[in-house]
Amino acid sequence: MLWKQLWQRKTLEAILAEEKDAKLERQLTLLDLIAIGIGGTVGTGVFATTGLIIANSAGPAAVVSWILGGFVCLLNGFAYMELSCIIPSSGSTYAYAYHALGELPAAIAGWLLFLEYGISGAGVARSWGLKVQLFAQSMFPEYSFQWLNEDYYSLASVVVQGISVVIMIFGLPIGKKFVNFVTFVKVCLVLFIISAGLAVYNPVNMTPFLPTQYGERGLMLGVTQAFFGYIGFDEVCCLAAEAKNPQAVMPKAVIGTILGTMILSTMASLTLAGMQPCEDIVDFATAFEVNQLPSAAMIVRVGEILTMPVVVLISFLAQPRVTYAMAIDGLLPPIFAKVDAHGNLLDGTLIAGALCTVVALVVPFEHLWDLISFAILVAFNMSNTSLILLRTRAESNHSVVPLVILAGTSMFTLQYSGDSTVWLVIALLQIVGVIVASTQLKMATPSLDEKIFRVPCMPWLPVLAMTLNWYLVSQMALETLVLGLAWMVLGALSYFMYGYSHSIHRERNPFIASPPHSHELHPLIL
C-alpha cells in the first residue's frame, strides 16, 4: 500500500476544480508573459554567462553552443506548450508530474523548481553584486568597494534580492508593469550592445573557432551551461494559472520566449567573441574598453546594473507560485498557500524571499550555475515523460519509465565510453533499444480541437528531447551530478517527513489512481 500511495496521481478533475476556485486572478496577457520570459532569460544569458562560456568552455564556438541550446529548449518547449494548455495551473513541472507521474515525483519536481527559480535568482544577484563593485571601483578608483561583494558574502546581492521580495509583496500588478518596462529597456540595451560590438568586430578573433583546449566536450559543456540562460519559458508556464485564456496564449508565450532569447543571446555571443581573443574575454564592458569605446562601456555597465535586477525579480516571481501549488496539495505547510485580502501570497513570498536572500548572501554564483542547469534538464525530462504518459494508451503505459531510464543510461555510457570499443557498442545498442521501445508505444489519438496545442510526431519529439537532455546532463562534472542527486534525495526526504502525512489527495482517495489514459481525460484535451 505504501508503494502505491507514493505514485498516487492528482486527477484532472481535481486540478480543474482547484483552478475554478483559485483566488489568483487571471490578469497576464500574451505580452506580459513574453516580457516575463525574455526579461528572465536575456539578462542571465547575455550579461552573466556569455563571457564565461566563451572564455572557459567553448571559445568562439560558444555561438554554436547557444544555437544548440536553443534547439534543445525548443524541443522541450513543445511538451510545455501542450501541457500548459492541458494543465493551466501554478507549478509548471510540479503540476504536470503530479497528474502524470505521481505524488513522490511531484514533490521532487517541486524541489528542482526551487533551484531553477529561487536559487537561480539568488545566483544572478551575486553576479549583479560583482558588477556593482567593479562599476564603483571604476568610478572611484581611490576607494575600495571589496566590502560590497566578498567571496562568501555579498551585501549588494542582499539588496537586490530584498528589493525583489518587496516588489512582490506589493502584488503582481505592480510587478508586471515594472517587468514590462525593464524588459523593454533591457532588449534595447542588448540591441545596442550587438550594434556597437559589430562595429568593432574582428573576424581574426573567431579563429580558431573551436580551440583545441576546449574541443567538442567544451562545446557541449557550453550547451549545458547555456541552459541557465533559457529558463524563462519554464517560468512562463509556472504562471499559467494567472494567464488570460491560457489555451490560446501559453503556446505562443513559450515559443516567443525561446526564439526571442535564442536570437538575442546568440547574436550577443557572436558579437563578444569577435571583439577580443577568447582567452582575454571578461564581459562586454571590458571588451568595449579594450576597443577604445569608453562611452559604450559606460552605457553597458550602467545598463547591466539597472536591468539585471529584473532577472532576480522574475526568477523569484515564479517561486511563491510553486510553493503555493504544493501547499494547496498538502505537500508543504498551509502558510505557503495563504492569500491575503489583496490576492497576494504574502507569507509564502516572505518565507521564500528570506531563504533566497540567505543564499544570495553566502553562496557565490559559480557554485550554483551548473547545479541549476542540472535541475532544469531533469525537470525538462519529467515534463516530457509526463506528456508521453498522458498520450500513451493503457496497454503500453508500462514501457514509458524503462524508456526514460534507457535513454539516460545510453547517453552516460556514450559519454564515458572513452576509447573503449566495447562500451561504445553497448551505448549504440542502448540507443537502438530507445528507438525500438519508442516504436512500441501506442499513442492515443486525440480528437481535433483547435483551442489545444498538440505536439506533432509523438512520441518521437519528446523522446528525442529527453535523450538530448540526458546527454547534456552527462557532460557535467561528477561533483555537480552528486550535488544534484543529493538535492533530489533531500526533496524526497521532505516529502516523507511532511508531505506524505498531509497530502489532501491521498486522504480523499487512499488507493492509487489509475494511470491517465486517453479515455479518462477531460473533454477539453481530447
Helices 309-328/294-307 angle, 10° precision: 20
In the prediction, which pLDDT does 172 show? 54
In this structure, is residue 445 part of a structural domain?
no
β-bridge mates for residue 150, sequence order: 153
Tens digits of per-residue pLDDT, 84-100? 888 877 678 888 999 99
Residue 286, phi then psi, degrees to nearest 5? -65, -40
SS3 track for 180-224: HHHHHHHHHHHHHHHHHHHHCCCHHHHCCCCCCCCHHHHHHHHHH
- Structural element, H or E, at residue 52: helix 50-53
The residues, ordered by sequence, that sit 6+ positions from 93 with a Cβ below 8 Å of its Cβ are 109, 112, 113, 234, 379, 380, 382, 383, 386
Domain count, the chain: 1
User: Contact, 82 vs 98, CB < 8 A?
Assistant: no
In this structure, is residue 476 part of a structural domain?
no
In the prediction, which pLDDT does 380 show? 92
Residue range of the domain that includes 83: 24-392
Cβ neighbourhood burial of 422 (10 Å; 0-12, 13-18, 19+): exposed
In this structure, is residue 267 part of a structural domain?
yes
In the prediction, which pLDDT does 291 show? 92
β-bridge mates for residue 153, sequence order: 150
User: Contact, 231 vs 44, CB < 8 A?
Assistant: yes
In the prediction, which pLDDT does 20 show? 65
Kindly write down the DSSP assignment for every residue of 240-251, as one continuous string. Answer: GGGBSSHHHHHH
Question: Is 462 or 503 the better-scoring residue by pLDDT?
Answer: 462
Tens digits of per-residue pLDDT, 404-440? 999 999 999 998 887 788 999 999 999 999 999 899 8
User: Contact, 434 vs 410, CB < 8 A?
Assistant: yes
Given a cut of 70, whether residue 522 has pLDDT beyond it is: no
**CATH number of the domain where residue 184 is located:** 1.20.1740.10
Tens digits of per-residue pLDDT, 119-161? 877 778 888 888 888 888 888 888 888 888 777 788 888 888 8
In this structure, is residue 283 part of a structural domain?
yes
Given a cut of 80, whether residue 488 has pLDDT beyond it is: yes
Tens digits of per-residue pLDDT, 192-211? 999 999 999 999 999 899 98
In this structure, is residue 425 part of a structural domain?
no
In this structure, is residue 163 part of a structural domain?
yes
- Structural element, H or E, at residue 285: helix 284-290
In the prediction, which pLDDT does 201 show? 92
